[in-house]
Structure 1
């Protein structure tokens, strides 16, 4: 008698749980049971895992987020074996493939290979999530639901940040030039432990929220979405992250250019007028953006100068993928600055994977913008047009923020970046499938 594959799977899981109970006791059995139930649910529908991961990762330990995102690609592969589902690879993923190849090569040749594995694993988890998204989300309604879950999670992050403004949080000395900012007592960071990291997250999420709000036709929903987006904007203001403010300004300009240039006529006076209502501490932070007197600015300039020297000495292949080989090498140039990254994404990438690697990274970023613009922003479907404009603005915003921060360093920001990339590629694929269905 031939035993069905599903029955074999059930017996395997039962044996697994029985072994856990026998050897480890009831606590591990319950944990195993929860894990098996989650496994079965995601095998049944990978979208459950995608939605759950997109909602939960900001609030979970980095290791848990890594496992969740990395496992999504494997679930797709398992389903393809069990249910004979077809796996598709998009032609526009070539730039990602090139970047992935360079990352692997730079890990193998790294001065600290085990340290490079950390960042390789984080980015592999992001790529796994992109792969799962493009092979699982097939309808506009599913894409919209995923984006909604993603933004609800962001709203919770933002609300926690706003709450911190009233309760107060620890202010670390390195976050602020105390001598020139004596009136600042709080910089919120929500669940990210650092206000600049929270700003990086919001720079990528706010433009997407604006795109969703812009498309919404229902006045009731538009009011709710506008209010939620406004809360996210309040939160990024409360981070007092000047790099974040620059990033969101570039994102706003990009969105306006892509949607309707005439909005500039309104945006410029509204933006300038809004400065009049900002508290003095925020105005002082804006004024200090280009100040060489500000200690955090001079600190970054010093890091950039040393990083440039490092790049000149390792311009071909870099020192190795990830922050650990960079940090180890940087400290051979100066031992009094125990930094973790270059506070500039482009210098950091060049230092890690070389000048050619930086070129491939920029090719990946710019080609992603090109694909999003051609396939989404230029679409006749207003949903894709406005969502595409928001996604393009997210990429431009984080690239601008990358001039003063390295946005591929913190795990949860790496995950956010790849989820945004996943939404872009998934939206392109969903729209193309819709066109094929209409033609047939």
Structure 2
């Protein structure tokens, strides 16, 4: 059973022999001599980090077309950076699954009934994957990783502060986001600069996870105060979005975060707390949540609407869209209709109820089924599993060396869990503001995977663990 699992998550895979036999890999480093003589590329990693930072600074405030141009610039830089690479190119299990994911998307594009629209979606997806590859490369440096995360957290703080301001002073509702028959029909849902409360909720999930990590990693008191403020403001803003999907995602995020933090500190706790800490923490949190639902009427009404079925207009809309989506899946089960919202918008009208137009499947997992068929969905789930498994293995390594960089991994994995749960009932993170963050979380994990063959890594891990036990 263990052997089968290691094969599924590729944990025993060594890629160093592939380096010497791959025709594709031979292109890596062709221009390394040019890089040695280039003053600009001496700062290659810093330039890559700067481009990533510009992307995350502008993402909440500019149009998607401008973000597309930035992604094209990142792709061009990644090509230059890669062909002039002086070090051995790092290929992790996560990279391999991402490559398989891209290949399935390519096949789905080739067999799409709307090839022109699918090709546009394929190009956008390719840009996201190239951004992941660049981020996974430059974030190897702890200083650069901390810097890029800090830039994102500062921008997220500004976004969430403006969202809280909207709650305090009121803001015009740009669409009918509440059930018109609900007592909360006139309730304010904040959306900050992103224009949609569900989109804002998805954007804030990685910000909350990483700001909690910042509380634990940043050393100075001023830095810690800033990190605590980020956690508070981001969490308050997420609550004010009234996004039920984001609320459920927040519960998943906190559950995974607490479990991993317990795993990180468990060996340093007295025996009593090793046994009772998790039951006490989760019991207390469950009690607080139940008390809040019972005592806070807006929260109670919004929470109970999750179980209202078709009686809630938002639920009813999604159910009708999902019914049409299942018909699409039935007709294109293996490779789907091709990636991208343009392909969806072209095909969906043939199946939809005329009263329920939609731009997406309102579920990331159903969206993968529609766009890339069962092959795409299986690969997407495989990517999540491999990323989390690889991340947890690296957390153990950081834990043994008392390296706080492992706490960024914990935050990234918690964010992945939160975004995945949010994706069950929404597709807002197909928007570039969220999709870039999704691939950033995966890149943070991939960037920290140990850079030597897995067998050697397992040997070092075993020796370190034995030394700790003897000590």
For 1:268, the equivalent position in structure 2 comes to 283
What SS does the aligned partner of 1:45 have?
helix
What SS does the aligned partner of 1:428 have?
coil
For 1:28, the equivalent position in structure 2 comes to none
Q: Does 1:346 align with 2:347?
A: no
TM-score, scaled relative to structure 2 = 0.77
* CA deviation string 1:240-274 (max 9, x = no partner): 00000000101101111111172451243245325
What SS does the aligned partner of 1:179 have?
coil
Q: Does 1:318 align with 2:336?
A: yes
State the alpha-carbon separation in 2 of the partners of residues 44 and 333 from structure 1.
49
CA contact (8 A) 1:189 1:198 kept: yes
How many pairs does the alignment contain? 405
* CA deviation string 1:380-420 (max 9, x = no partner): 23423322221111111111111110244212221121122
Change (3 A) 1:77 1:313: closer
CA contact (8 A) 2:363 2:427 kept: yes
Change (3 A) 1:431 1:222: farther
Query: What is the CA-CA distance between 1:168 and the residue it aligns to?
Result: 2.5
For 2:11, the equivalent position in structure 1 comes to none
State the alpha-carbon separation in 1 of the partners of residues 451 and 408 from structure 2.
13
Query: What is the CA-CA distance between 1:179 and the residue it aligns to?
Result: 0.8
State the alpha-carbon separation in 1 of the partners of residues 415 and 230 from structure 2.
17
Query: What is the CA-CA distance between 1:365 and the residue it aligns to?
Result: 1.5
For 1:85, the equivalent position in structure 2 comes to 86
For 1:34, the equivalent position in structure 2 comes to none
Change (3 A) 1:205 1:114: farther
For 1:13, the equivalent position in structure 2 comes to none
For 2:348, the equivalent position in structure 1 comes to 330
Which among 251, 260, 272 is matched to residue 253 of structure 2?
251
State the alpha-carbon separation in 1 of the partners of residues 113 and 414 from structure 2.
36
State the alpha-carbon separation in 1 of the partners of residues 85 and 390 from structure 2.
30
Change (3 A) 1:76 1:325: closer
State the alpha-carbon separation in 2 of the partners of residues 430 and 271 from structure 1.
41
CA contact (8 A) 1:70 1:128 kept: no
What SS does the aligned partner of 1:164 have?
helix
CA contact (8 A) 1:377 1:386 kept: no
TM-score, scaled relative to structure 1 = 0.83
Question: Cα RMSD over matched residues?
Answer: 3.2
State the alpha-carbon separation in 1 of the partners of residues 392 and 426 from structure 2.
26
For 2:172, the equivalent position in structure 1 comes to 170
State the alpha-carbon separation in 1 of the partners of residues 67 and 53 from structure 2.
13
State the alpha-carbon separation in 1 of the partners of residues 235 and 447 from structure 2.
26
What SS does the aligned partner of 2:188 have?
coil
Where do 5+ consecutive residues of structure 2 fail to align?
1-32, 264-276, 458-462, 464-471
For 2:299, the equivalent position in structure 1 comes to 282
CA contact (8 A) 1:49 1:72 kept: yes
Where do 5+ consecutive residues of structure 1 fail to align?
11-36
Q: How does 1:151-190 map to 2 (within 5 A)?
A: 151-182=153-184, 184-190=186-192
* CA deviation string 1:296-322 (max 9, x = no partner): 112212222222222122112212212
Change (3 A) 1:431 1:408: farther
Change (3 A) 1:406 1:428: same
* CA deviation string 1:345-364 (max 9, x = no partner): 11111111111221111111
Deviant stretches of 4+, over 6 Å: 39-44
State the alpha-carbon separation in 2 of the partners of residues 241 and 226 from structure 1.
23
* CA deviation string 1:265-290 (max 9, x = no partner): 12432453256457422221112211
What SS does the aligned partner of 1:58 have?
coil
Which among 116, 140, 145 is matched to residue 142 of structure 2?
140
Change (3 A) 1:268 1:172: farther
CA contact (8 A) 1:311 1:350 kept: yes
For 2:60, the equivalent position in structure 1 comes to 58
State the alpha-carbon separation in 2 of the partners of residues 175 and 115 from structure 1.
29
Which among 298, 302, 327 is matched to residue 309 of structure 1?
327
